[in-house]
Chains A and B, each alone.
Chain A
Amino acid sequence: MNHKAYKELLMLAASGDVDSGDRALLDRHLDSCAECRAEFAAQRTLHDQVRGARSAVDVNDALLQEARLELRAALRRERAKAHGFRWREFGFTSPAFRLALGGAFTLLVGVLLGRTFFTTSATSGGATAEIPVVGASGTHPEEGETRITNIRFIDPGAHSGQVEFTFDALTPVRMRGSVDDPQIQKVLTHAMLNEENPGVRLRAVNAISAGPAEGQDREVKSALIQALENDRNAGVRREALNALRRMAFDGQIKKALLHTLSSDANPGLRVAAINALDSARTQTSGYDQDFLDVLKQKAGTDQNNYIRVKARAVLEEASRR
């Protein structure tokens, strides 16, 4: 082995990455080479110096827990993005349905145009429309009358006899059915997560929570958890929390409540989370260690005085048991 090869070897040896055979070979070389001995000492110093330095970020349990909670929320968003609202389950995308609805819609547009302009022209060449079709099959859907709004003339057709314009056609769909019906739940779940208007989201949560807790499937629970963790409106988060409290307590609900207790900006919701977790111990036969850990943190650091007092009170109660 030449001198250069020994230099490579001693750098690996400094961090302990050589086998016993190479190490013995290196030791023999070091006995006879002052330059490599000095180099080896320098390498060891560097290794010790770097290894002895603490990390810029302390990987403790609290940081890991925080990372896990944030990951959980990100995964929910990922899943929601991937699934979206599954219109296929309603049969809206089947070719037969689209053909039938397209035909009916074209007829409807024709009638409405006739009524609107009181003119029928044999030379008009017929009307075409490219408007997104909305409808419903579902349990008991009822279509209301299509409302034409926002007509914009592209070519008023004063001289040519041809007219061109755009408009919005809104068709209200009425669904009636039991709250525990899966299709009703799907629409409500969609509204809960996607409606812009917080009032609508709130009503959707209220409607879902009005049903029997045992009839609600995993997706409803998941949507409620997502609303609790991510909805911008505190009222919606509060109702989602109340709805979750009515369900059988399990690990998912516990984690969502712990997330609220740890991170929600609204103190009322943090208090509600403490109450929910505290009362859940009747279902889990005792205090949960994760809950106690978060409480300890809250007892010392929460900005809200009442929450600090409340956390201490629950911790005292737990220590007495």
Chain B
Amino acid sequence: MTAVTKNDRYMTNTDEELIRLAQQGDMLAFEQLVFRHDRKVLSIAARYVTNADDAKDIYQEVFIRVYRGLRKFRFRSEFATWLHRITVNVCLSHRARSHRSNRTVLIGDQGEDEQEAHGDVPDPGGGPDRQAIDADAFQHIQEALEVLSPKQKLVFTLRHYEGHSLKEIATMMNCMEGTVKRYLFTATRRLRDQLKEYA
């Protein structure tokens, strides 16, 4: 026999029910809502930054903003859409803050010990040659992505890594689809230029 906690009971609730409970101050309902969507948020953040601590910072900032804004959520859009829009905004403001405080760390600058301690870099497998090639390619791509503007990088990340359509990205970024397309074109062109020598 396993104990059924209150949290387990919330597993069958819809997002809307959880939001309504959370709006009345039910923290367990809020937690359940977070658990349903947080992997995606962390995944977007992780693709956007270059270390685990920054990804967790973005993750935390997103859900604190959700917590603060949830009382005013009026179901005019899907919760996921609203959440992703907040994620996009936090990513963009995080990048701006990082640039201001000059805290951006290139992966190549981290010591091996630090990388291991943070668990940032998974074991790619294969022999030492394969690993060296992967690491080299990885660093080139990371550096190339860092050259893009925050919005270009975000659009490129959401499209190529998260698989969102241009329309979805436009909704998240609260702009026209044509604008997203322009960011994507520019990002692609700049990335190709950056990676030309490497290719």
Residues of A within 8 A of B (CB): 8, 11-12, 15, 17, 42-43, 45-47, 49-60, 62-64, 66-68, 70-72, 74-75, 78-79, 250-252, 283-286
Would you give 17 A-B contacts (Cβ < 8 Å), ordered by A? A12-B166, A15-B159, A17-B159, A17-B165, A49-B137, A52-B137, A53-B138, A54-B121, A56-B47, A68-B38, A71-B59, A71-B63, A74-B60, A75-B63, A78-B67, A283-B3, A284-B3
Q: Which residues in window 97-151 of B have CB below 8 A to A?
A: 107, 119-122, 124, 134, 137-138, 141-142
Residues of A with C-beta under 8 A to B185 = 8, 11
Residues of A with C-beta under 8 A to B120 = 56-58
In the A-B complex, the 6 residue pairs with the closest CB atoms: A57-B46, A251-B5, A56-B50, A58-B122, A53-B141, A284-B3
The answer to whether the Cβ of B33 comes within 8 Å of any Cβ in the partner chain is no
Residues of A with C-beta under 8 A to B42 = 59, 63-64, 67
Residues of B within 8 A of A (CB): 1-3, 5-7, 27-28, 30-31, 34-35, 38-39, 42-43, 45-47, 49-52, 55-56, 59-60, 63-64, 67-68, 107, 119-122, 124, 134, 137-138, 141-142, 156, 159-161, 165-166, 181, 184-185, 188, 191-192, 195, 199
**Contact yes or no, B138 A54, CB < 8 A:** yes
Residues of B with C-beta under 8 A to A56 = 46-47, 49-51, 107, 120-121, 138, 142
**Contact yes or no, B1 A285, CB < 8 A:** yes
Dominant SS at the A interface? helix
Other-chain residue from B27, B119, B141, B192 in contact with A62 (beta carbon distance below 8 A): B119
**Contact yes or no, A46 B191, CB < 8 A:** yes
Give Cα A53–Cα B133 distance, bound, in whole angstroms.
Answer: 11
**Contact yes or no, B160 A67, CB < 8 A:** no
Chain B: CB-nearest residue to A60: B119
Other-chain residue from B39, B63, B124 in contact with A59 (beta carbon distance below 8 A): B39
State the Cβ distance, A291 to closest chain B Cβ, in Å. 13
Residues of B with C-beta under 8 A to A11 = 184-185, 188
Chain A: CB-nearest residue to B59: A67
**Contact yes or no, A49 B141, CB < 8 A:** yes
Residues of B with C-beta under 8 A to A251 = 5-7, 28
Residues of B with C-beta under 8 A to A54 = 121-122, 124, 134, 138
Chain B: CB-nearest residue to A58: B122
**Contact yes or no, B160 A51, CB < 8 A:** yes
**Contact yes or no, B64 A78, CB < 8 A:** yes
Chain A: CB-nearest residue to B106: A56
State the Cβ distance, B47 to closest chain A Cβ, in Å. 6
**Contact yes or no, B5 A58, CB < 8 A:** no
Other-chain residue from A45, A52, A55, A283 in contact with B47 (beta carbon distance below 8 A): A55
Chain A: CB-nearest residue to B110: A56
**Contact yes or no, B191 A57, CB < 8 A:** no
**Contact yes or no, A286 B51, CB < 8 A:** no
Known A43-B188, A51-B161, A56-B51; contact A67-B56, beta-carbon cutoff 8 A: yes
Other-chain residue from B6, B52, B68, B160 in contact with A57 (beta carbon distance below 8 A): B52
**Contact yes or no, A68 B35, CB < 8 A:** yes
**Contact yes or no, B119 A15, CB < 8 A:** no
Residues of A with C-beta under 8 A to B184 = 11
Residues of A with C-beta under 8 A to B51 = 56-57
